[in-house]
Amino acid sequence: MAHCKMSLRPIKTRFAPSPTGLLHLGNIRTALFNYLLARQARGIFLLRLEDTDAMRGHEKYSRALEQDLRWLGLNWDEGPEAGGQHGPYAQSERGPIYKEYFASLESRALAYPCFCSEHELAIARKTALAASRPPRYTGKCRALSTQDIQARFARGEPATLRFRVEEGRTVEFEDKVRGPQIFRTDEIGDFIVRRSDGTPAFFFCNAIDDALMGVTLVVRGEDHLTNTPRQILLLKSLGLPVPAYAHIALVVGPDGAPLSKRTGSISIEELRTAGFLPPAISNYLARLGHTYDANAFMDMDALAKNFNVSRLHRAPARYDETQLLYCQREAIMCLPSAVLREWMGGEIKKLVPDDRFDAFIDAVRGNIFFPTDALRWAQIAFTDKLVVSQAAREVIAAAGRDFFEAANRALEKHNTDFKAITDTVKQARSVSGKSLFQPLRAALTGELDGPEIASLLPLIGVDRARKRLSIN
Ligand code: GLU
């Protein structure tokens, strides 16, 4: 029996960062969306480093971004280290491939050398704008004769390579977020694909690589939208496949302005150092400019399964730190103790006995955001050191010595059974509600807020509790 040939290409998405700095929330959101889409379709998520030879210090940033992606669980199926059939996956190593395509464009007269200087081009742009014409290239070098070209090269004149754009046409494509797009070639004009120093233009390599690497869907920031018609023209002229595109709205600060350090352009590295949990970040970002039906915290599988391109917003996504903290809290509530234990770090492990760790986590998980918060509660529960806040001192003083004597008697009788202790003190001292609970919390923890005392007291233990309740 003849086999049915599958004509559908498996979905392949990619993240193609330029390693010029540390990744921040905006960049990593693009990576996350691409990752989720690939995972949802059981497709391939590819990583490509858009480094060029001219970039300085990119190795450091390349390693850093790989570390950030791994830390967030955005493991790529194809790319640096993972390997694959379409490498190399760093543009700095793909020079010979670009050369081939330049040669192909030149030999078929799809591109031509342009000798116009920066200065000339700037004047032409200004003139066009003053006359309310689109500031496209005038076409001055479009029809130079072969002799002319050779003579100018012989004189050592520098030239860029320009792609020839057919006039009077439109480039149309369906953007998966922004809907149908139409661009007039008359507004695009012939564009530079290779600079005069021989380096390829960004969008040239970017398009060639997407095609050669078999990328089927490009999800990227809308700042690249105007590159897309040029890339489509290029790919079609070279007979290369054109991927589908989804241009996502950018992330802005709460004030609507581009992200700044204060408003969310914090690097992933900084977030990691501060103690943010990877699932908190992925849950937050998967909802930044994208809507799920449910607000509940989800693991990566569920985030992927329920992700929907048609639910990506067109309006800019606003970074909101409160929401990020909310996701951090959700992650802490949902993650297994073993994960939180690792997250809390070595200092806490030294303070909390192994057999009390689960109880400690259950006691504090609703009251912490970061490992530093957990450390404070570990010190309160498992060391004799107690810092008593001014507010707590006042509550203790107001309750008075007789109250604490009753509390201590109840402790001797009921051990660390907090319910029984409070019932006893309530009867003995005729106090209830806040007047009963607050002085006990204040004396036992030095604070007026925090985890349930019923869960903390067994960790604090009778000896330490007795000392803390012995108020003179
Ligand atoms: N290297 C480009 C950037 O980081 C990639 C753009 C794209 O995703 O196509 O902005």
Shortest-distance Cα residue to atom 8 of ligand 1: 220
Residues 300, 281: Cα–Cα separation, whole Å:
11
The DSSP string of 342-406 is HHH-HHHHHHS-GGGHHHHHHHHGGG-SSHHHHHHHHHHHHSS--PPPHHHHHHHHHH-HHHHHH
Best of 50, 55, 204 for a ligand 1 pocket test (most atoms within 8 Å of beta carbon): 50
Residues 182, 82: Cα–Cα separation, whole Å:
38
Q: Which residues pair with 12 in a beta bridge?
A: 44
Q: Which residues pair with 15 in a beta bridge?
A: 47
* pTM for this model (two decimals): 0.92
The reply to whether ligand 1 has any atom less than 6 angstroms from the CB of 136 is: no
Ligand 1 center–CA 312 separation, angstroms: 19
Cβ–Cβ < 8 Å for 179, 240: no
Pseudo-torsion of CA 269, 273, 279, 284, nearest 10°?
Answer: -70
The reply to whether ligand 1 has any atom less than 6 angstroms from the CB of 18 is: yes
Q: How many CA atoms lie within 13 A of 77 on its CB side?
A: 16
Best of 206, 219, 251 for a ligand 1 pocket test (most atoms within 8 Å of beta carbon): 206
Ligand 1 center–CA 321 separation, angstroms: 26
Residues 179, 171: Cα–Cα separation, whole Å:
14
The token pair that represents 463 in the structure block? 């000896």
Tell me if residue 172 falls in helix, strand or coil. Answer: strand
For 62-66, the CB contacts below 8 A with 24+ separation are 62/19, 62/90, 64/19, 64/22, 64/23, 64/269, 65/17, 65/19, 65/22, 65/23
Atom of ligand 1 nearest to the CA of 14: 8
CATH number of 390-469: 1.10.10.350
Residues 83, 306: Cα–Cα separation, whole Å:
29
Atom of ligand 1 nearest to the CA of 221: 8
Ligand 1 center–CA 133 separation, angstroms: 29
The DSSP string of 78-113 is BBTTTB-TT---BGGG-HHHHHHHHHHHHHTTSEEE
Task: Residue 464: count other Cβ atoms within 10 Å of its Cβ.
Answer: 18
Amino acid in position 61: Y
Task: Residue 155: count other Cβ atoms within 10 Å of its Cβ.
Answer: 8
The token pair that represents 417 in the structure block? 């059974």
Domain ranges of the chain: 390-469
The token pair that represents 24 in the structure block? 């921040």
The token pair that represents 424 in the structure block? 């006893």
Cβ–Cβ < 8 Å for 323, 294: no
The reply to whether ligand 1 has any atom less than 6 angstroms from the CB of 26 is: no
Task: Residue 120: count other Cβ atoms within 10 Å of its Cβ.
Answer: 12
Residues 14, 219: Cα–Cα separation, whole Å:
8
Output the tens digit of pLDDT for each of the chain's 472 residues: 444 444 467 899 999 999 998 999 999 999 999 999 999 999 999 999 999 866 667 899 999 999 999 999 999 999 999 999 999 999 999 999 999 999 999 999 999 999 999 999 999 999 999 999 888 999 999 999 999 999 999 999 999 999 999 999 999 999 999 999 999 999 999 999 999 999 999 999 999 999 999 999 999 999 999 999 999 999 999 999 999 999 999 999 888 887 766 666 789 999 999 999 999 999 999 999 999 999 899 999 999 999 999 999 999 999 999 999 999 999 999 999 999 999 999 999 999 999 999 999 999 999 999 999 999 999 999 999 999 999 999 999 999 999 999 999 999 999 999 999 999 999 999 999 999 999 999 999 999 999 999 999 999 999 999 999 998 7
Q: What CA–CA distances, in Å, run from 78 to 13, 35, 166, 214?
A: 10, 12, 36, 11
The token pair that represents 414 in the structure block? 């009921």
Task: Residue 411: count other Cβ atoms within 10 Å of its Cβ.
Answer: 25
The reply to whether ligand 1 has any atom less than 6 angstroms from the CB of 16 is: yes
The reply to whether ligand 1 has any atom less than 6 angstroms from the CB of 250 is: no
The reply to whether ligand 1 has any atom less than 6 angstroms from the CB of 210 is: no
